Amino acid sequence: MKNIGIVAVGKYVPERIVTNHDLEKVVETSDEWITTRTGIKERRLARRDETTTDMAIEAAKSALDGSPVPAEGIELIIVATASTDSNFPAVACKVQSAIGAKNAAAFDVSAACSGFLCAITTAKQYLTSGMFKTALVIAAEKATNLLDWSDRATCVLFGDGAGACILAPVEEGRGILSEYLHSAGEFHELLYVKTEEPAQLEFNTKIQKPAIVMQGQELFKVAVTSMADAVDLVVEKAGLKLEDVDCVVPHQANDRIISAVAKRAGVSKDKFFINIQKYGNTSAAAVAIALYEAVEEGMIKPGSVVVMVTFGSGLVTAANLIKW
Ligand code: UT7
């Protein structure tokens, strides 16, 4: 069985920073509420003319910068996004064209906040089977496009950005050692994007802008149990112990969720990489950006045992364990 690992990482975040104080001018909220309830201090906001694809391309270029595999050597591109700029073509095809990855197959996956890990798991299966040798996996979100800026319960939580990684065969004992992927479709109404069904529209009706609807408290509980149990599961599946884990890169939805996951999973919170204070919840891109920064800041080094874990709409939970 081939070992597949991550050989390069990349990220892109838009320049514009929106602080909690900026949001105090938009909705009835406070820096104090947002900070204590979520851990978020600021988030990035894409330019009006900056698309999910633009951010995906920048993250891809960033990953290619440090990659042993050049663009022409990429055989598969998967983009995870819940905020695509048009129904088709896939963002991945536009990335392919922009980076000159002429020899690749390209498509998108939709799994909201768990999209990046779903895409990594999907790519890994293609690489393990031998159908493709290398893959570029990107998560890109213009989540702020899906916000109702008058809904303080959701508009303070999300931000824009993108992350990427390149998968390729690695030496034995290294790479992705275990994975977990599960959906609890029965809870799909806890977090969704509300759009009007076109079939129900009267002629000439103005179509409502899509907006995120969330039942935060219910989600919180499922997020904690699902992610904590997924961490334990991938560690056990890899034949390792919790003490062997050097770094956990979790979905960045709420700092209080991360604390509760650490406690329930039995892994010290010091081992969790957290950047929610800077970016808020960037959906699929959150764990991708965090992975890049954990490597950049030296929390992940060659030989580190890394667990990535995500949770989101669907409800989809995903995790993997990587020997870096
Ligand atoms: O990424 C996908 C996965 N996402 C998640 O897993 C999110 C999980 N949920 C959460 O992280 C938290 O539930 C939230 C951050 C969304 C909300 O925190 P909470 O502690 O559960 O707050 P709450 O919804 O229970 O609201 C508490 C109070 C309410 O006021 P009352 O009814 O107690 O008077 C809200 O109206 O806080 C109020 N509130 C706000 N106040 C100031 C809600 N949003 C705001 C706000 N500013 N932005």
Quote the pLDDT of residue 209: 77
- Taken as a whole, the chain contains a residue count of 324
- pTM for the predicted model, two decimal places: 0.96
Nearest CA to 251 among 293, 216, 212, 285? 285
Segments of the chain with pLDDT less than 70: 1, 196-208
- The answer to whether residues 29 and 155 touch, using CB atoms and an 8 Å cutoff, is no
Annotation says 118 is catalytic: no
**Predicted pLDDT at 202:** 59
Cα(231)–Cα(278) distance, integer angstroms = 24
Tell me which residues have their CB closer than 6 angstroms to ligand 1.
29, 33-34, 37-38, 113, 152-153, 156, 191, 216-217, 219-220, 223, 253-254, 257, 281, 311-312
CATH class of residue range 176-323: alpha beta
Radius of gyration of the chain (CA): 19
Q: What share of the chain is helix, strand, coil (3-state, %, to 5)?
A: 40, 25, 35
Domain boundaries, the chain: 4-173, 176-323
CA distance 135 to 120: 9
Fold matches, 4-173 and 176-323: yes
Overall fold of domain 4-173: Peroxisomal Thiolase; Chain A, domain 1 (3.40.47)
Return the best residue to mutate from 18, 21, 190, 220 for the ligand 1 pocket (most ligand atoms within 8 A of CB). 220
Instruction: Give SS3 for 220.
Output: helix
